[in-house]
Amino acid sequence: MIERYTLPEIGRVFSDAHKYELWCRVETLVMEAHAEAGTIPADSVEPVRQAPPPTPERVAEIEAVTQHDVIAFLTAWADNTEPREAAKWVHFGMTSSDLLDTALAAQLVEATDILLAKADALVAALRDHALEHRGTLRVGRTHGIHGEPDVWGHRVADFAFGMARSRDRLRRAREAVGVMAISGPVGTYSNIDPKVEAYVAGKLGLRPADVSTQVVLRDGISEWVSCLAIMATVCEAVALEVRHGQRTEVRELWEPFGKGQKGSSAMPHKKNPIMSERICGMARNVRAQIVPVMEGIPLWHERDISHSSTERISLPDAAIATDYLLNLTTKLVTGLVVDADRMLVNLDATHGLIYSSTVVSELIETGLSREDVYAVVQSAAMRTWDTGAPFRQTLREEADARGIALDEARLDEVCRPERFTERLAGVFERLEKLA
């Protein structure tokens, strides 16, 4: 992921420098387990532990010759070890995938914990915003067309619960991705005791794979990326709602617009929903990583490395972009300007047509057939669309023409906008308990 969209904390997790730190940690733990078992000299561990991780530049220099990143790392690290003789016990009994998959699991767990903390913050921001606007009347829309009265807090509550579910999915995926293996060539433990694997797993807070060949099967990593994609898309759903609400014809919502901010190089009057548009665009990048990562599940026999090049791009990109999305969506929600007065204006924009379904139900209760009632109400509604006359007026005229008596007092009650929000109390009660 390019620097523009990489925040420092998660960028550090996926840096080459940190990767080599993790590789050193894994290799040192393996040596500790061997030393405890008497497999290698006990005095070889401390010199290796004290050796500083090699720099990315030095590893790259050696890899240019070896064309093998693990060997380049081991060589560079050995150069930092005093006495160098101790370094010969590094990687003892291991194969490259033992190191790569175990360190990757630790790396992805680290990244997940960062993402979960930010998801918690976004859930809280959405919950608080929804509760603040539990009484802010707003027209509900289906297919982009006014439907019935609603409240803005109801719409945001849907996002809050959706993000909470996304967070909980990622918590479960943390377990799926925190799986390691140190089982040697083709995974048969031919050169390494399974107790070494168990020791390293315990120290790193990971779980040994139930079975591994020479690699950990990529179903868990695929699940993790899929969870990130869902989370990113929920962020997009929030942003898309804001984009619609900020359109000039709607003008119900506004992104935060800072002092000195500019909306257009050509049109000084513009206040564009750039944060929301960026969120929608970045979510595409996260979703795009699902298929490449999932295609790493089927490999040739016990192992090939067709998944390796993909994961070097897709896993950091998915995590870093999701981190950026969570951060930006939280800023969007906490800074969002809600124009409640404009929402009320829009509520009345269709001259009462948003009560048509309520009128249908009310007239059916008088004993008329649904077909007759629908014909009356639709005819009145079409006249309102065409002429702009109030719906109650066209409804009265259509009813009079067909000899249907309307209970005006009753229609006043059922067409009261607040009535549509009173049954949402349970939603907000549940929302108050959302953590």
Which residues are annotated as catalytic? 143, 264
Phi-psi category of residue 368: left, alpha or beta, with phi > 0 → left and psi -120 to 50 → alpha: beta
Q: Could you identify the residue written with the tokens 């903390």?
A: 117
Residues whose CB is less than 8 angstroms from the CB of residue 220 and which lie 6 or more positions away in sequence, other chains included: 173, 176, 177, 179
Query: Is the peptide bond preceding residue 208 cis, with omega within 30 degrees of 0?
Result: no
Helix (H) or strand (E) holding 314: helix 306-335
CB atoms within 10 A of CB 361: 11
Give buried/exposed letters for 223-245 (b at 16+ CB in 10 A, else e). bbbbbbbbbbbbbbbbbbbbbbb
CB 298 within 8 A of CB 256: no
Closest CA to 392 of 347, 359, 367: 359
CA distances from 70 to 24, 30, 66, 100 (A): 11, 15, 10, 8
Length of the chain: 435
Closest CA to 331 of 261, 278, 252: 278
User: What's at 227, amino acid-wise?
Assistant: C
Closest CA to 100 of 9, 205, 180, 3: 180
CA distances from 404 to 191, 367, 376, 401 (A): 90, 11, 10, 8
Tokens of 374: 């629908």
Give buried/exposed letters for 139-166 (b at 16+ CB in 10 A, else e). bebeeeeebbbbbbbbbbbbbbbbbbeb
